[in-house]
Structure 1
Amino acid sequence: MPKLIAITIDDEQPNHILLKRVIDQNGQLEVVKQFTHPETALEKIREIKPDVAFVDIEMPDMNGLELAEKILAIHGQTHIIFVTAYSQYAIEAFKVNALDYILKPVDTHEMNRVVRKIMNRTSQQGLESANEAQEIMHKGRILCMGDFEVYGKHSYQKVHWMTAKVEELLAYLVIHLGKPVDKWKLCDLLWPNLDPNKATTNLHTSIYRLKKTIANEQVPLQIKSNSNGYWVELEECLLDYQEFVRLSTDLLRSNQQPDSEKVVSLLMKAETYYRGELFENKAYIWSSAHSESINQMYIRLAYQLIDYFDKNQSIEQELEYLNKLLRFFPYEEKACILAMDIFEKRKDKPALIRQYQQHSQYLMKEMGCTPSLKVEKHYKKLIKIL
């Protein structure tokens, strides 16, 4: 089994040396990068996509708790392990959905304990089992939610496209899977300011380059064509967009309440496919309508899971899905209120205040407004109780 990718973030270089030594002794993680500045680490998170981040809490430029929230907002699959000299940070650590924390000086026994927890959690996540994940890796993957990533069969390396237009062409055809797209529509989409002859030449060249890259990288899909246009057909390949829509449509259309393990399992599987906005790292204007539809599906699924765990008094899991929902959609009033309710039940006044402040700051920064009267009244009521 390949080692999990790890990074360490600490403002003091000697701590990096000691921490890496203990991690290396365990042998199940590979430290690929060590950062002394939080901002530099954040710039690299999307590129590295670490499985594990060891984060020092006491840093002068940015508090480790704040840094962890920003890491999870960029790459929600990262396991956060806090490294601290003070045990009182333990409660704070779990408020930002950290997996665990280690006290300094870090010893081998503590590291082994934390790594076992990471490995157990990793084995439970993703696509239900290591065998299924391995099978999907062999088949190839096209990931559209969050970063747009394409992988060929038997490969962990992302496909690199000859040009941005070739990549966008594939993205558009994938979203319209199996449906012929008129060649003139593709020309208008990709080269709206060129004369028709030049645009047609560019389209033919891009199709040729797309087919060549697909063949070279062993991406299991085919580009089909007729006299009017082009379309994509998948062979043995996972398309996260397709799987998410299929599962979500079935679950939401049937209006099944998550009252059985089977339904909850399907909800959780659908939820794992959502890694962010459709083609989040691209500026495809044409994808906005599709993206909004996907976002609304995810929000509905997330609330069903949150409701299920609330009814079953599984507060940690409820809060986990609330945190993820709020990372993607910090404007969600209902999620904000539910999170504040949890903190009130826990008698955790600082967390309640922080939740309200985060909601308020986002609304002011992004929309130039303050929380609704409903949220404000609810917040004041809870504060009085505490």
Structure 2
Amino acid sequence: MPMLRAITIDDEQPNHILLKRAIEQNGQLEVVMQFTHPETALGKIEEIQPDVAFVDIEMPDMNGLDLAEKMLEIHGQMHIIFVTAYSQYAIEAFKVNALDYILKPVDAEEMNRVVRKIMSRTIPHKPPSTQESLEQLPKAKILCLGEFEVYGNRSSQKVQWITAKVEELLAYLVMHPGKPVDKWKLCDLLWPALDADKATTNLHTSIYRLKKTIANEQLPLQIKSNSHGYWVEVGECSIDYLEFERLSSTWAKHNELPEEEVASLMKAEAYYRGELFANKAYLWSVAHSEHINQKYIRLSYRLIDYFEQKQSFEQAMEYAKKLLQLFPYEEKACMVTLDIYGKRKDKPALIRQYKQYCDELRKEMGCTPSLKMEKHYETLLKSL
């Protein structure tokens, strides 16, 4: 069957890069045209006759919901997929006969889900093949950034661990995939107060329990060992911190952010949900957690600067707001947010944001904003 023809409509050019990449990676759709202006897209629908339209909801010239209604009047056989950063649009999306909606930033898993739905409505119904049935199984993933959560292929529920030490053992091994870890190092990390014999017994028991859980939960991991230690081999399993490191590995090599790197950095930023193993008290992870935090902060400022240069202030605001949510004391992120409120002439929002920043500093650190921040705020306030 030939690939289905798709168009994308989004007023932010960088979003087209990320969306097109996700569509092309799926391999069943072909992006035939991309539009940054809704009116231009509307005028081309009859000529293009696309099978699928990926439509941003929040656009300044025309709301995506209104645009979709008008496009369906011209070409009613087209499938509409809304792309939005805000889940509250879900109900409105389905009111205009949209097939589905996906949240920004779009990832491969969500795109595959949506494309399967498109194909099921486009091709004649047939019993699912063995391969299709396998594709519908839950996808294994390990989330380390934010709360530590592990999901196997057996169910959509997160793995429940027999003991906290078994969970911590996996966390440490996952941080060093494919690299043998000395068994005595593991004993010192996990049972520092026990003598060598008891610690070794606990390690052997925990390895056995870990292997059993991996098998029961159908996790695509293998625990390997030699005479000196243990390590984990990772199969078809997504690990967020590894993806974050991979996608963000090239950004520091450039003084200016190349256009082709934007999509990778947006994807890397989306993987960051909070500090490494945020809900665990793993002392061994503190140094690496701080390294990732600082990389995330620098990466976010790169994206903020990029979108400000493109005058995509709403996009820059999203990243600044997330930075402040995760790191409330980031002065530069607060300044960016205040600047955008100033450009909007939104005095109440500007005052609220500054007050919130002051409250966080006072409550958590017992201090007040810097003189630089105070002057910046007063200058903006006087301009409104």
On whether the aligned pair clears a TM of 0.5, the verdict is yes
Q: Does 1:255 align with 2:254?
A: yes
C-alpha change, 1:327 and 1:188, in structure 2 (3 Å) is same
SS at match of 2:249: helix
Deviations 1:337-360 (A, max 9, x none): 011001111111111111111111
SS in 2 for 1:150: strand
Q: Give, in whole Å, the separation in 1 of the partners of 2:239 and 2:346.
A: 41
Between the aligned partners of 1:152 and 1:209, the Cα distance in structure 2 is 16
Q: CA offset at residue 98 of structure 1?
A: 5.9
Deviations 1:117-172 (CA, angstroms, capped at 9, x unpaired): 9x534376334752189969755111111111111126322111100000001001
Quick check: 1:243–1:270 contact (8 Å CA) kept in 2? yes
Please give the per-residue CA displacement for 1:267-325, whole angstroms capped at 9, x wherever unaligned. 11111111111111111111111111111111111111111111111121111111111
1:258, CA displacement in angstroms? 2.9
Match of 2:309 in 1: 311
Q: Report the CA distance between 1:365 and its aligned residue.
A: 1.1
The aligned residue for residue 212 of structure 1 is 212
Counterpart amino acid of 2:244? F
* 1:13-67 CA distance string (max 9 Å, x none): xxxxxxxxxxxxxxxxxxxxxxxxxxxxxxxxxxxxxxxxxxxxxxxxxxxxxxx
> Secondary structure in 2 aligned to 1:120?
strand
CA distance in structure 2 between the partners assigned to 1:123 and 1:302 by the alignment: 16
Task: Give the letter for the 2:112 counterpart.
Answer: N
What is the distance in 2 between the residues matched to 1:142 and 1:100?
Answer: 27
Q: Would you say the 8 A contact 1:256–1:263 is kept in 2?
A: no
Aligned to 1:122: 103
The question of whether the paired residues in 1 share the 8 Å contact of 2:139 and 2:151 is answered with no
CA 1:301–1:206: 2 relative to 1, 3 Å: same
Post-superposition Cα deviations, 1:83-134, rounded to whole Å, max 9, x if no partner, equal: xxxxxxxxxxxxxx866589xxxxx8x58449969x5343763347521899
Counterpart Cα distance in 2 of 1:218 and 1:246: 25
Q: C-alpha distance in 1, partners of 2:261/2:87?
A: 26
Query: What's 2:125 paired with?
Result: none
Distance 1:294 1:123, change over 3 A: closer
Q: Note if contact 2:141-2:239 (Cα within 8 Å) is conserved in structure 1.
A: yes
Conserved? CA contact 1:100–1:114, under 8 Å: no
- The corresponding residue for 1:153 is 153
Which runs of no fewer than 5 residues in structure 2 stay unpaired? 1-84, 117-134
2:346 aligned with 1:365: no
Partner residue in 1 for 2:225: 225
Distance 1:143 1:132 in 2: 20
Q: Within 2, Cα distance between the matches of 1:292 and 1:144?
A: 14
Structure 1 residue aligned with 2:334: 336
User: For residue 177 of structure 1, what is the aligned residue in structure 2?
Assistant: 177
- Closer, same or farther in 2 for the Cα pair 1:155/1:250, shift >3 Å? farther
Regions of 4+ moved over 6 Å: 132-137
User: Residue 245 of structure 2: SS of its match in structure 1?
Assistant: helix
- Does the 8 Å contact 2:361/2:367 carry over to 1? yes
Unaligned runs of 5+ in 1: 1-96, 103-107
Partner of 1:350: 348
Q: In 2, are the aligned partners of 1:126 and 1:272 still within 8 Å (CA)?
A: no
Q: Is the 8 A contact 2:166 2:210 kept in 1?
A: yes
- Counterpart residue identity of residue 329, structure 2: Y
> Is the 1:306–1:318 Cα contact (8 Å) retained in structure 2?
yes
- Report the CA distance between 1:384 and its aligned residue: 1.2
> Is the partner of 2:350 in helix, strand or coil?
helix
The verdict on how the C-alpha distance between 1:121 and 1:215 changes in structure 2, with shifts beyond 3 A counting, is closer
Q: Does the aligned pair in 1 maintain the 2:86–2:103 contact within 8 Å?
A: no
- Is the 1:248–1:270 Cα contact (8 Å) retained in structure 2? yes
CA RMSD of aligned residues (A): 2.6
TM-score w.r.t. length of structure 2: 0.68
Aligned to 1:82: none
Partner residue, 1:33 = none
Residue identity (%) = 64
Question: Using the alignment, how far apart are the partners of 2:299 and 2:224 within structure 1?
Answer: 34
- Note closer, same or farther for the CA distance 1:330–1:291 as it changes in structure 2 (3 Å cut): same
Q: Name the SS for the 2:261 alignment partner.
A: helix
The alpha-carbon distance between structure 1 residues 309 and 99, as it changes in their structure 2 partners (threshold 3 A), is: farther
Task: State the one-letter code of the partner of 2:309.
Answer: K
The answer to whether the 8 A contact 1:136-1:237 is kept is no
Give how far 1:210 is off: 0.3
How many residue pairs get matched? 281
CA deviation vs aligned residue, 1:69-91 (integer Å, no higher than 9, x gap): xxxxxxxxxxxxxxxxxxxxxxx
